[in-house]
Amino acid sequence: MVTVLTIWGMINIFSVTYSNVYLTNGNRYIFVIKQFAWYLISVVLMLISSYIGERHIFDNSKKIYFFGIFVLLFTIIFGQVALGSRRWLSLGPFSFQPSEFLKLLVAIHLSKIFTSNNKDYIVILNSILYSVIPFVIVSLQPDLGTALAILFLWLVGFVFYGFDTIVYLVFAAVVLSFFVYFFKLLLIILIPLILYILFKIKKSKFSLILIFSLILISAISGPIGWNTLHNYQKERLLAFVNPFQDPTGTGYHLIQSQAAVVSGGLFGKGFLNGTHTQLHFIPEQHTDFIFSAVVEEWGLIGGFLTILLEFLVVLRILQIGFEIKGYLGYFCVLWSFLISFHTFVNVGMVLGVMPVTGIPLPFVSYGGTFLMTNFIALGLISSMHYHNKNWSFK
């Protein structure tokens, strides 16, 4: 399924870049050749990760995590600047994005934290600490999409841990208070929720002070977080609310991608025949907006099959994860939800139901780093499946 998705991605990458002389410098095959090279490297890395074995990696998760943080800090200082962000490190003709690898390292270490025998409050504090550090560093690059993906990994781990209901209610109150600055109507939900929480834990003064402090900090963080965003990030969020407010500027991507999707119809316009795709109305279409090319040239059928294949990959990883106990199974759950998150946000971004955040479509979008990261994760998952199953050749 992953091989089919990757080949399918190369076909559409070729279509998007085929006639774009400015992007390819006259070599219409350059992006497909590069993606195929990344694919071969990814397969080798998958085999290496499966050969090393998952337990060697998970047993040294903290060391590997801090090495990833070091590389990320090195990138912020000495990395290559492109599109206003310092996210890449160059190795000859190739460049890679360390923050993508960090998703894998965070998922590995969080799976160890959430399956440890520590008390609940220690698990919460450790998981938040090891998630916030990379979130802040990646946000400084800036790379909001990857930072949100790291935060999403923590959220999935937190939800699946199985805390007491009151812990999840407190978390909901903290999150809602963050958005009250933007949506005052949330007070209708937030105030009764806080009163119910106070009623349930009225005997513990320390807990009351802690909860009030968290809610207050979260409420203050809303406007502070908004004001620390870069102007282009604010414009993307505002364009998501109303893309026609600036149709030739910040809303251009959304308007053109929606037009491409609608024009595809049921069966599409055919390979290399998409108007928006071949006339290059959508910038960076071979990366973040490749799904618009898929639907324009292959129609609703092509878009549905793409999402179906992504879903089947996620379902297979979940199936393996549920067969394995402990941190290995937890990692499978985290990674399957990360692929789901990427798919949901990318497709939603193209359709205009999610803000533009620069999150690629797994195995389909052009880009070597995320492809390699996914294949390394698949190598670990294959190794888990192999070593935790009673094999028989009869």
Is residue 145, in this structure, part of any structural domain at all? Answer: no
Which of 109, 85, 107, 106 has the alpha carbon at shortest distance from 97?
85
Q: Does residue 282 lie within any of the structural domains?
A: yes
Residue 318 burial by CB count (10 A; 0-12/13-18/19+): exposed, middle or buried? middle
Give pLDDT tens digits along the chain (394 positions).
Answer: 999 999 999 999 999 888 777 777 777 888 899 999 999 999 999 999 988 877 788 888 999 999 999 998 888 888 777 666 777 787 766 677 888 899 999 999 999 999 988 888 899 999 999 999 999 998 888 788 888 899 999 999 999 998 888 899 999 999 999 888 888 888 899 999 988 888 888 767 788 888 889 899 998 988 888 787 777 667 766 666 666 666 666 677 788 888 889 988 999 998 888 888 888 888 778 888 999 999 999 999 999 999 999 999 999 999 998 888 788 889 999 999 999 999 999 999 888 888 777 789 999 999 888 999 999 999 999 888 887 765 433 3
Tokens of 387: 């070593």
How far CA 175 is from CA of 93, 153, 189, in Å, comes to 43, 16, 12
Residue 298 tokens, joined: 């292959």
Report the relative pairing of strands 85-91 and 80-82 from DSSP bridges.
antiparallel
CA quadruple 247, 253, 258, 261: dihedral sign: positive
Q: Do the domain assignments include residue 295?
A: yes
How many separate domains does the chain show? 1
Among 209, 132, 223, 118, CA closest to 161: 118
pTM equals 0.89
Residue 140 domain flag: no
In a domain, 151, yes or no: no
Contact 108, 131 (CB under 8 A): no
162 domain-assigned: no
Whether the CB-CB separation of 114 and 127 falls below 8 Å is answered with: yes
- Asked whether residue 267 is domain-assigned, the answer is yes
Question: Distance (Å, rounded) from C-alpha 291 to C-alpha 308?
Answer: 13
Domain extent, residue 261, equals: 2-119+230-387
Residue 177 belongs to some domain of the structure: no
